[in-house]
Amino acid sequence: MKKKKQPITTAMLARLGILGALALVLSFLETVLLPDLPLLPPGTKLGLSNVVTMLTCSLFGAVPALYITALKVLFALITRGMTAAMMSGAGGVLATLGMILLLRTGQRVFSYFGVGVLCAVLHNAGQLFCACLLTGSVYLLHYGKYLLLFAIFTGSLTGLMLNVVMPRLRQAEGNSQFAICNSQSRDER
């Protein structure tokens, strides 16, 4: 996994741009796709853009994954204001850190399924803490059980998606000129 320290290459910059755009579009799309069902706790989302972060983390490493997260926070700040940015940041950074840790150390024990679930739970936990700080009320923690249940569900969804996609992506990389991973990241496997 160790490699020489080098500035971001043009190719990497382009990939991060595409992946970042994908993350933003997905996080917008899921607000459209998921209607306000009475059963769901309000404010919950599928966390589809987490797929992109996990994919980035797995293919390119920790720092690019944090770039994507930072981009999402910035996007939330511009489009939805300070409160949304803080919520996005608290959840996103915690989830990304957990993901980095699991993908680095736990590849034998966990598949993307487990990583996805843990990320979703951490994401919601971060947001809940942020919400508690913003309102100054610990009564919000009562809401945590609904968020936990929902996170297990959405995390399974995104995780299983990656379980299916990642091996195929890595295979495609070997025989396609449109591969999104280069030889450098292939060494990291």
Angle between helices 10-33 and 62-105 (to 10 degrees): 80
In the chain, the largest separation of any two C-alpha atoms, in whole Å, equals 55
Rule CB under 8 A: say whether 28 interacts with another protein.
no
Q: Using the rule CB under 8 A, which residue among 57, 65, 121, 181 binds another protein?
A: 121
Tokens of 59: 């293919």
CA-based nearest residue to 128, from 65, 62, 41, 52 = 41
Polymer length in residues for the chain: 189
Q: Using the rule CB under 8 A, which residue among 83, 104, 186, 188 binds another protein?
A: 83
Rule CB under 8 A: say whether 138 interacts with another protein.
yes
Which residues have C-beta within 8 Å of that of residue 34, sequence separation ≥ 6?
Answer: 40, 45, 46
Rule CB under 8 A: say whether 78 interacts with another protein.
no
Rule CB under 8 A: say whether 167 interacts with another protein.
yes
Rule CB under 8 A: say whether 129 interacts with another protein.
no
Count of residues touching another protein (by CB under 8 A): 45
Contact footprint for another protein (CB under 8 A) = 36, 42-43, 80-81, 83, 87, 106, 108-114, 117-118, 121, 131, 134-145, 148-149, 152, 156, 159, 162-164, 166-168, 170-171, 174
